[in-house]
Structure 1
Amino acid sequence: MSSSTSPAVILVTGGNGLVGSALKRVIETKPIGSRFGKRTETEQWIFLQGSKDGDLQDLNQTLKIFETYKPTHILHVAALVGGLFANIKHNSTFLHNNLRINDNVLWASKLHKCKKVISCLSTCVFPDKVNYPINESMVHNGPPHQSNFGYAHAKRMVDIQNHAYHSEFGCYFTSAIPTNIFGPHDNYNLDNSHVIPRLSGEDGKERRSEWLNKF
């Protein structure tokens, strides 16, 4: 991500979350010039630490972040996330909040002429009824599962926005669809977590019992 004319400034949204904090650990520990380390000593990485750095749901605050750091590249991993039960209860909230976050980040990236944006999607974007194996060309081949359709459609919209920004403005916006992410800084709350983090840990047996009793 380096630039031939000036040092690259990589802004990571959601820098204190599961994915963002993992990226931070890698960047801070891998040797410069290695596959996963900084490209150069002058390359700068900015990890946004949640709402204390600005609310990405607010366009003015988002623009202020971009004006402050003047990023050349964006790793967009910020999102309102939750587990099965949270999504079932709050599909509208997950749709509304994530649409605003994604729209503001991509619009600000366009206005500030960022060279590249990589957004993090989710496997929930794939259709509920689909033939396996699956690939990214099948994302829009049917509706997502009803349990988290709000979050899924918000993430699908990023893919549409990427294509639209490239078509109209020539922006280099793309996405990655990782699978089953878990690790340090995950959410272990019974109602809001995903299955793997909720059932792991020292009290995993008790957690499994509590989680299964939810059904």
Structure 2
Amino acid sequence: MEQNAKIYIAGHRGMVGSAIMRRLEKAGYHNFITRTSRELDLRDQAAVASFFAAEKPDYVILAAAKVGGINANNIYRAEFLYDNLMIQNNVIHQSHLQGVKKLLFLGSSCIYPKMAPQPLKEEALLTGELESTNEPYAIAKIAGIKMCDAYRSQYGSHFISAMPTNLYGPHDNYDLKNSHVLPALIRKFHEAKISGAPEVEVWGTGTPRREFLHVDDLADACFYLLLNFDEPGLVNIGTGEDLSIRELAELVQHTVGYQGAIRFNTDYPDGTPRKLMDVSKLAAKGWRYSIGLKEGIRAVYEDFVQHEQKNMSSVSA
């Protein structure tokens, strides 16, 4: 990528988009095009067409999406399917029409079948039924992968797809109703510590196994792919290591310094039994993660506490 290239980051204020922008800035890139969702509704075909025609970006990173945890995915099924399809259809199509040099489409590990062999290889896509709770989001993301491949095969577009594992890091969503498991646990244990609650409730049985990647590592992988990867299909981004939700809860409990008990509420669904990425494809390209989960959670918790203190001081002021 040329140093002065115009780079459009869709979703630049989200956890993923902001991390990618930080990584690109670190590498000396500063010619960014950004729009908030209020400034540009990516679901609006005409608005997106006008934006691309006026700005003509050289590179596009599609990190904008409607996202949420297992509960949000299951409740807002129509929005998760419609909004994500519209966002990616408009951005990918206009990238083609305006001659974008390279586009990076970001999805999620939930694209894989619920009972796919572990660890999840890229070839497992569309080999079985999806996990029902996040099926709408997964179907949208699968469509995005196939769309990138279709434009590549028909028009020679340099559109690539990357599927990250579970992410955490700065600018995460800590809302207990709509957040993912790690930020939800951080908030729960922190609030229980502050209030002196005797126990913390964790959804499910604690037995499902999950993999977690710091968003700064994801951003580094995305930058690496933009420079070094140009193939059809998709590439997994993760650590290749996982742990049980119980082990994760205990790690967060220890990091926060909460002294009470953990109670697993089995009335809530577990979701997929295991989701571990096979990251051998990316490893063969020469990239590996660098931020360990223990140090990553410690840094994220310190950041969370700082934000909570700022919020408290602004409310009291």
TM-score norm. by structure 2 comes to 0.59
> Which residue is equivalent to 1:109?
95
Secondary structure of the corresponding residue to residue 71 of structure 1: coil
> Which residue is equivalent to 2:104?
118
Residue pair 1:53, 1:65 contacting (<8 A) in 2 also:
no
> Which residue is equivalent to 1:196?
182
Separation (CA, whole Å) in 1 of partners of 2:35 and 2:115: 37
> Which residue is equivalent to 1:8?
5
> Which residue is equivalent to 1:141?
127
Q: CA RMSD in A?
A: 2.0
Residues 200/96 of structure 1: CA separation in 2 closer, same or farther (3 Å cut): same
Cα deviations across residues 44-85 of structure 1 (Å, max 9, x unaligned)? 122332x22200000111112212321011000000001111
Rg larger for: 2
How many residues end up aligned between the 2 structures?
201
Residue pair 2:101, 2:157 contacting (<8 A) in 1 also:
yes
Matches within 5 A, 1:11-160: 11-28=8-25, 30=26, 37-38=27-28, 44-49=31-36, 51-160=37-146
Residue pair 2:7, 2:60 contacting (<8 A) in 1 also:
yes
State the Cα distance separating 1:208 from its structure 2 match: 4.4
Secondary structure of the corresponding residue to residue 42 of structure 2: coil
Secondary structure of the corresponding residue to residue 38 of structure 2: helix
Residue pair 1:95, 1:153 contacting (<8 A) in 2 also:
yes
Structure 1 gaps, min length 5: 31-36
> Which residue is equivalent to 1:209?
201
Secondary structure of the corresponding residue to residue 96 of structure 1: helix
Worse-superposed segment, 133-142 or 151-160: 133-142
Separation (CA, whole Å) in 1 of partners of 2:192 and 2:133: 24
Which structure shows the higher strand fraction?
2
One-letter code aligned to 2:201: S
Separation (CA, whole Å) in 1 of partners of 2:124 and 2:96: 27
Residue pair 2:185, 2:202 contacting (<8 A) in 1 also:
no
> Which residue is equivalent to 2:258?
none
Secondary structure of the corresponding residue to residue 201 of structure 2: helix
Separation (CA, whole Å) in 2 of partners of 1:52 and 1:96: 18
State the Cα distance separating 1:157 from its structure 2 match: 0.5
Runs of 4+ in 1 over 6 A off after TM superposition: none
Separation (CA, whole Å) in 1 of partners of 2:141 and 2:181: 20
One-letter code aligned to 1:187: N
Residues 68/86 of structure 1: CA separation in 2 closer, same or farther (3 Å cut): same
Separation (CA, whole Å) in 1 of partners of 2:124 and 2:152: 20
TM-score norm. by structure 1 comes to 0.86
Residues 208/198 of structure 1: CA separation in 2 closer, same or farther (3 Å cut): farther
Cα deviations across residues 92-147 of structure 1 (Å, max 9, x unaligned)? 22011100111000011011010111011100001111112222121121121001
Matched, 1:170 2:156: yes
Residue pair 2:110, 2:138 contacting (<8 A) in 1 also:
yes
Separation (CA, whole Å) in 1 of partners of 2:77 and 2:178: 13
State the Cα distance separating 1:190 from its structure 2 match: 1.3
